Copies of this chain bind each other. A is one copy, B any other.
Amino acid sequence: MPHPSPLERVRIVLCGTTHPGNIGASARALKTMGLASLYLVSPKHFPAADADAMASGAADLLRTAAVCGSIDEALDGTVFAVACTARSRDLSHVVLTPRETGVRLIWEAARGPVALVFGPEQSGLTGREVGRCAAIGMIPTSPDYSSLNLAAAVQVFAYEVRQAAEGVVSYPQDAYDAANYGDVEFFFRHLEQTLYDIGFLDPMQPKRLMQRLRRLFQRARLEKEEVNILRGILSAAQRPIKRNS
């Protein structure tokens, strides 16, 4: 069986888009770059006439778009995701340029589906949503005015993804079995519960620590087998407490 083309493995996830015209214009931007996999997380209005109008010849992407209730649903099954944002964050995510994002996404796509995640027009992605991704993608802009239109940002990233994919005909056989989004999220929940159980997690500041741990493990790009090992360790750590309770 031939491997899928890199571009087929790149999902575009638009979270909480306010203006349906921007969904349509984004679909058009994606189709010009050969991307077709569109996920919409809680769009404000969809389907909508404005979306169809702005999509022009790319209305087929709107018809096949997956409408999801949460970012977790949209990222399910992916092995790597980049949060596209205009603002730098307090906690140290790796920050990639669009060019680096394209190269990295196409590289990671050898292991499975990957995603580019965009937030709402005004507010951008929340810290929680960025925390679901392994890296931040940021477009270098003028210091005087950094407000790219959503579809314009989608066009720049999609352009760089296509640039990175040119020349990549197919992937080599996967060297190892990557843990996917669901596996890793299950591990994070197990980790958080265990940290409570063993009394390590500060109930006053639980999120900050978990964010740091998320970043650590997302950087590591876990394999399925490693997740199993880590969860085995967590279970072992929980056992004495459960026995005592």
Q: Residues of A at under 8 Å CB distance from B?
A: 25, 28-29, 31-34, 56-58, 98-99, 139-142, 144-149, 151-152, 155-156, 159, 162-163, 166
Asked if A31 and B145 make an inter-chain contact with CB atoms under 8 angstroms apart, the answer reads yes
Looking at the complex, which one of B28, B145, B156 makes contact with A147 (CB distance below 8 Å)? Answer: B28
Smallest CB-CB separation from A86: which chain B residue? B32
* Given contact pairs A28-B148, A99-B163, a sample of 12 additional A-B residue pairs in the complex whose CB atoms are under 8 Å apart: A28-B149, A32-B139, A32-B141, A32-B142, A32-B145, A34-B144, A142-B162, A149-B155, A151-B152, A152-B155, A155-B155, A156-B159
| Neighbouring B residues of A155 by C-beta, 8 Å | 148-149, 152, 155-156
- A34–B143 CA distance with the chains assembled, in angstroms: 8
Asked if B145 and A57 make an inter-chain contact with CB atoms under 8 angstroms apart, the answer reads yes
User: What's the least CB distance linking A155 to chain B, in Å?
Assistant: 4
State the majority secondary structure of interface residues on A: helix
Copies of this chain present: 2
- A192–B174 CA distance with the chains assembled, in angstroms: 63
| Neighbouring B residues of A29 by C-beta, 8 Å | 148-149, 152
| Neighbouring B residues of A56 by C-beta, 8 Å | 147, 149
- A164–B139 CA distance with the chains assembled, in angstroms: 14
Asked if A25 and B149 make an inter-chain contact with CB atoms under 8 angstroms apart, the answer reads yes
Asked if A32 and B146 make an inter-chain contact with CB atoms under 8 angstroms apart, the answer reads yes
| Neighbouring B residues of A144 by C-beta, 8 Å | 31, 34
* Cross-chain pairs A/B with CB under 8 angstroms, 30 sampled: A25-B149, A25-B152, A28-B149, A29-B148, A29-B152, A31-B142, A31-B144, A32-B141, A32-B142, A32-B145, A32-B146, A32-B148, A33-B141, A56-B149, A57-B145, A58-B145, A98-B159, A99-B163, A140-B162, A140-B163, A140-B166, A141-B162, A142-B162, A148-B155, A149-B151, A149-B155, A151-B152, A152-B152, A155-B155, A159-B159
What are the 7 closest A-B residue pairs judged by CB atoms, nearest first? Answer: A34-B142, A152-B155, A31-B145, A32-B141, A32-B148, A156-B159, A29-B152
| Neighbouring B residues of A151 by C-beta, 8 Å | 149, 152
Given contacts A25-B152, A152-B155, A156-B155, contact A142 B57 (CB under 8 A): no
| Neighbouring B residues of A166 by C-beta, 8 Å | 140
Given contacts A25-B152, A139-B159, A156-B156, contact A147 B98 (CB under 8 A): no
